[in-house]
Structure 1
Amino acid sequence: MRFQSVRRAGVSRARSFLFSSLACAAVAVAAAPAPALAQAGLTEAVRSAVRGDREIAQFYQQRGYQPIWVRGGTLGPEAQQLLHLIETADADGLNPRAYRPNAVADAIEEAAGGSPRALARAEMLLSTTFANYVRDVRRARDMGVVYTEAHYRPVVPSKAVALMGAASAPNLQAYLESIGWMNPLYAQLRGGLAAHRGLEERPAIHVPSGPILRPGSTDPRVRTLRARLGMAPDGPYDRAVANAVRELQRAYGQPADGLAGPLTLALLNHGSRETQQLLRLNLERARALPADLGRRYVLVDAAAARLWMYENGEAVGSMRVVVGKPTEPTPMMAGTLRYLTLNPYWNVPPDLVRERIAAGVLREGPGFIRSRRYEILSDWTESARRLEPSDVDWNAVASGRQELRVRQLPGQDNAMGRMKFMFPNDLGIYLHDTPDRSLLREEGRLFSAGCVRLEDAPRLARWLFGTPPRAEGSTPEQHINVPEPVPVYITYLTVAPEPQGVAFRQDVYNRDPVQLAALNRPPERRRR
């Protein structure tokens, strides 16, 4: 009896506490502002909706189930932006249907009513779609880039990392507009592809090559040109034709002079499908670079024979460069510029020793070596002995039966100039000064054996060091570490972003056909 009375007393106290708590909760609910209640309802709805994907569930759990696409009880404009991205995913070489744009559009429409459950469903679908899309866009194909360090190789992020990028962006709308999960080259080229899709498909008529066509030309090809531009064939090369040619030139990033020269005719004969294929190919080349290029970096485009210095996403300087000849092309690479060498030797490549130096000695005698300030070494070790030219069988060197190490001493006539910039790699590629300034004035600057010759090496040194270091006397090979090593990216863009759109360039290394064929092969199916 005593036990029962105690238990009843306990139940009575528990009921009293429960009623008191409910009363307090009712007061708190009555006092809570409506937005807080709506947010609490949305958070709970997100918690319930998130259970389908373990990785995405963990992401939301870590942020207390706070949404990233819903603000103020409604979907932000970013939802429509993401819908547009997946609807145009074929620009990325992807199948838009893989991202279920109709389902995304329906979810956005249903969420417009403001129901927490509908908003939560849209939040989950948008996040899942975004994560899958980012992962697929970041999945780079092999474009022949040499990565000197593993961290430069593009990686496919996890879904959580993809979503963290969106959640941590200062402005989600700007992040989507700039395609912030990719490097800037990729985003600009994708925009160029979208612009070119707006061009109407012109008649499939080939305009033969020949002299430049201009206003007043009586060349029979004017008739063909007018037909190719979609005009009545009968008629002169008048202002309307010149304006149509200018429109084409602007679309391809060329000087808009209204004259139909060889390059303009070649671009006109491309056709929109071929143009889009070239844009797709160069998107893949941009995709093969890291998503984050770094705060400061050097970019060399071998197709343009030009170098840019970048800081915080902006080009702060540019210069002409000489790159590899078509028989010895400059490779696409990603590495780290770590040190500068002042008073460098020039280690002559073995093929040049065979073809030029051995031939020169056989033609002029041993004086050829001394007059060009070369020296001959026994091997490639640090303890190599110097050899006299008379001790060498030059016929054996010329025929390729003997390989010889030859280097040119530092000085004004040295092929390396006053300095070279080193990003260690197994290919022996680097950036360097040059005494041969005339080659930098050429339009097609394809003269090196693969390395990159600089128009203004001291300017690059000032950018790297602030105050460029000076050589201490004439001692050869003075190595000076860069205070803040910077990435160096050597790419090859036959379609490249320009302030006015994109520019089409000559495929000087003939890489496009091979890589286009590989690009058009269906990729292997991958599990998500």
Structure 2
Amino acid sequence: MKREQNELLAKEKNSLIAHYLQLEIDSLESKFSTQFNDELNHKAFEFYRKRNYDPIWRLNESSSILPEQYLSLLDSVHLEGLNANDYNKEILEQYRKNVGDFIDKNNKTKDIHAKAIAKTDLNFTISFLKILNHLKNGKIDQGELGLQWDLNNENEINAEQLLIQVIQKNDINAAIAKVYPKIKQYNQLRELLKFYYSLSNNTNWRKLQPGITLSLDSVSADVIILRQNLLQTKDLQENKNNVQQSTLFDAELKKAVVSYQVRHGLEPSGIVDEEFIEIMNTPLSNWIALIELGLEKTRWLPDSLGDKHIFINIPDFSLQMIDKENVIREMKVITGKTMRSTPVFSGKIKYVVFSPYWNVPKSIAVNDLLPKIKNNPGFLRKNHYELFENWDPNSTRINPRKIDWDTIEENNFSFRLRQKPGPWNSMGRVKFMFPNNFSIYMHDTPEKHLFIKERRDFSSGCIRIQEPEKMAEFLLPEMTEEEITGKMNKKSEEYINLKTPTSVYITYNTVGVNDKGQAVFFQDVYKMDEKLIEMYHKTPLK
């Protein structure tokens, strides 16, 4: 009898909470709060309706561990590069402070407590769904970044399924694991963020005196500060021969300075100069912001990049060929100059064109080539260009010398320029096509000398690759090296479809992780990060 009475009281208690949950949801829908994303809110409301407004978090039951689990997650969410205050932490913390008022030991729920429990239950759910969405898709909507950024992750969360999982397991961790980014780079950046937070909390980090210069065999009190900082960044290894208070700039310290310079994109001179001091004196909060942004950019990628894929990073001017998470080969790339920047997006390489023609885009023909044609009527013939009447596939080829080029400007330039296959061709001897809205592809280049340069933003947007033969071997494993070389040196164009399209990701990451787990910072060549960081920290919740 007593058990039946308790069950009846519990049912009445939850009915009262459900009543106030319904009132709260109806109220929110009538005067909708803009604090959170409408779509996710409606998913939460619909979920409550399906369960007749039965509460999820069991705030009034001493056996419920869900609220404390979630509050503990918010306590450490900064290690994901997220801000707990974006998820109503201050409001939810009231539960922690007043937990005694929520737990009803006598199976009696006062009206005022039921109302508070209902409102807090809903706040927990809405907050939880937002953090799941941000872990899965990031805070910033890529659509707000403009047409030059579209990684298209399509990582939609199933709110109902995740909430059911939480209720059935009485545990939020399985749901968190479901949405947690699976990419190796994410965990590397997360460890990096944790490390930089520890550095920022370390009172031993000190600034170098501006205006000084330190090099091998220098003796200065500033060497002590330099040594201690490099020990903390792990560029200098602590050992019995490394005296922390030594004022001598020795060979081991020079090696550590070079390591720090390489990781921060400086000339590896081993000399502490004005540029070095400016970087080392940069507030640690700035580096933390870059790593947080790196985590956000990683969340914009799909859960799976594909067993076999190509990963390009614009600020690093690098390309990786990856198979089953193993980097098969790395090579240098040349990307778009600032005024013709390479967009950030993903696609699938579907075919390869050996010994390609180059149909010159009108913008390049008008802005780059037309002045040269006007200056030298023989320019087109000398550089192996053909001139066609227009862009129709069947258009007539015409003699450039019959055109009065002095009368040709952008508004009446209707011609198509095509460069013949050969070593002179701007596409080189092969190009790799992944159809997209940006008309971007990868290709060989006759200008091999440009790969020597550290900064390589020289193209008109397309990506020139250092070792096209190796790329062809990676994409067309059924072909021998000799077959590929033969096709690259033909005088006629040849298309070959890939048996399996290969994913390619063109990214913009200004922070990476080296083999030692240390941060590597790259130049923000397109000056994107300042805007992105501002959007990241000021963006309202999705």
**TM-score, structure 1 length as denominator?**
0.68
Q: How does 1:96-115 map to 2 (within 5 A)?
A: 98-99=88-89
Residue 225 (structure 1) shift: 6.9
Alpha-carbon distance in 1 for matches of 2:253, 2:490: 62
Residue 88 of structure 1 is matched in structure 2 by 77
Residue 393 of structure 2 is matched in structure 1 by 382
Aligned pair partner of 2:350 in 338, 344, 347: 338
Aligned pair partner of 2:429 in 394, 411, 418: 418
Q: How does 1:35-74 map to 2 (within 5 A)?
A: none
User: Higher relative contact order at CA 8 Å, sep ≥6: structure 1 or structure 2?
Assistant: 2
Q: How does 1:139-150 map to 2 (within 5 A)?
A: 139-141=139-141, 142-144=144-146, 146=148
Residue 373 of structure 1 is matched in structure 2 by 384
Relative distance call for 1:219 and 1:399 in structure 2 (3 A) is farther
Are 1:135 and 2:133 counterparts?
A: yes
Deviates more, 1:416-425 or 1:284-293: 284-293
Relative distance call for 1:322 and 1:97 in structure 2 (3 A) is closer
Residue 32 of structure 2 is matched in structure 1 by none
Residue 484 of structure 1 is matched in structure 2 by 500
Residue 31 of structure 1 is matched in structure 2 by none
User: Match of 2:329, as an amino acid?
Assistant: G
Residue 195 of structure 1 is matched in structure 2 by 195
Residue 480 (structure 1) shift: 2.2
Residue 432 (structure 1) shift: 0.8
Deviates more, 1:244-253 or 1:498-507: 244-253
Alpha-carbon distance in 1 for matches of 2:451, 2:127: 49
Relative distance call for 1:227 and 1:155 in structure 2 (3 A) is closer
Alpha-carbon distance in 2 for matches of 1:298, 1:140: 25
Alpha-carbon distance in 1 for matches of 2:263, 2:466: 30
Relative distance call for 1:525 and 1:320 in structure 2 (3 A) is closer
Alpha-carbon distance in 1 for matches of 2:133, 2:529: 26
Residue 235 of structure 2 is matched in structure 1 by none
Are 1:271 and 2:261 counterparts?
A: no
Q: Is residue 373–residue 380 contact of structure 2 (8 Å, CA) maintained in 1?
A: yes
Are 1:433 and 2:434 counterparts?
A: no
SS at match of 1:412: coil
Alpha-carbon distance in 2 for matches of 1:106, 1:457: 63
SS at match of 1:447: strand
SS at match of 1:199: helix
Question: 1:450-496 deviations in whole A, cap 9, x for unaligned?
Answer: 11111122222222221247549957443322222122211111112
Alpha-carbon distance in 2 for matches of 1:396, 1:94: 64
SS at match of 2:446: coil
Are 1:405 and 2:416 counterparts?
A: yes
User: Match of 1:457, as an amino acid?
Assistant: P
Relative distance call for 1:203 and 1:218 in structure 2 (3 A) is closer
User: Match of 1:507, as an amino acid?
Assistant: D
Relative distance call for 1:180 and 1:255 in structure 2 (3 A) is farther
Relative distance call for 1:374 and 1:251 in structure 2 (3 A) is closer
User: Match of 1:504, as an amino acid?
Assistant: F
Deviates more, 1:281-290 or 1:303-312: 281-290
Q: How does 1:133-282 map to 2 (within 5 A)?
A: 133-137=131-135, 138=137, 139-141=139-141, 142-144=144-146, 146=148, 152-162=152-162, 180-181=180-181, 183-200=183-200, 202=205, 207-208=210-211, 213-217=214-218, 237=249, 259-260=271-272, 264-282=276-294
Question: 1:151-196 deviations in whole A, cap 9, x for unaligned?
Answer: x2444413235569999xxxx9899689734544344323322221
Q: Is residue 320–residue 440 contact of structure 1 (8 Å, CA) maintained in 2?
A: yes
Residue 358 (structure 1) shift: 3.4
Q: Is residue 215–residue 239 contact of structure 1 (8 Å, CA) maintained in 2?
A: yes
Question: 1:199-240 deviations in whole A, cap 9, x for unaligned?
Answer: 137556773597xx323347999799799999x999664689
Are 1:299 and 2:316 counterparts?
A: no
Question: 1:344-381 deviations in whole A, cap 9, x for unaligned?
Answer: 11122434434553344444433x22221110111112
How many residues end up aligned between the 2 structures?
A: 471
Gaps of 5+ in 2: 1-10, 22-43, 58-62, 100-121, 233-243
Residue 147 (structure 1) shift: 6.7
Residue 524 of structure 2 is matched in structure 1 by 507
User: Match of 1:413, as an amino acid?
Assistant: W
Question: 1:291-341 deviations in whole A, cap 9, x for unaligned?
Answer: 433333211101011111223334332211111123322111122222212
Residue 514 of structure 2 is matched in structure 1 by 498
Q: Is residue 354–residue 495 contact of structure 2 (8 Å, CA) maintained in 1?
A: yes
Percent identity between the two aligned chains:
25
User: Match of 2:451, as an amino acid?
Assistant: L
Aligned pair partner of 1:463 in 449, 474, 479: 474
Relative distance call for 1:162 and 1:190 in structure 2 (3 A) is farther
Relative distance call for 1:314 and 1:82 in structure 2 (3 A) is farther
Q: Is residue 134–residue 162 contact of structure 1 (8 Å, CA) maintained in 2?
A: no
Residue 82 (structure 1) shift: 8.8
Q: Is residue 313–residue 319 contact of structure 2 (8 Å, CA) maintained in 1?
A: yes
Alpha-carbon distance in 2 for matches of 1:84, 1:191: 17
Let me know the Cα RMSD of the aligned residues. Answer: 5.5
Alpha-carbon distance in 2 for matches of 1:324, 1:344: 20
Residue 455 of structure 2 is matched in structure 1 by 444
Relative distance call for 1:153 and 1:390 in structure 2 (3 A) is same
SS at match of 1:92: coil
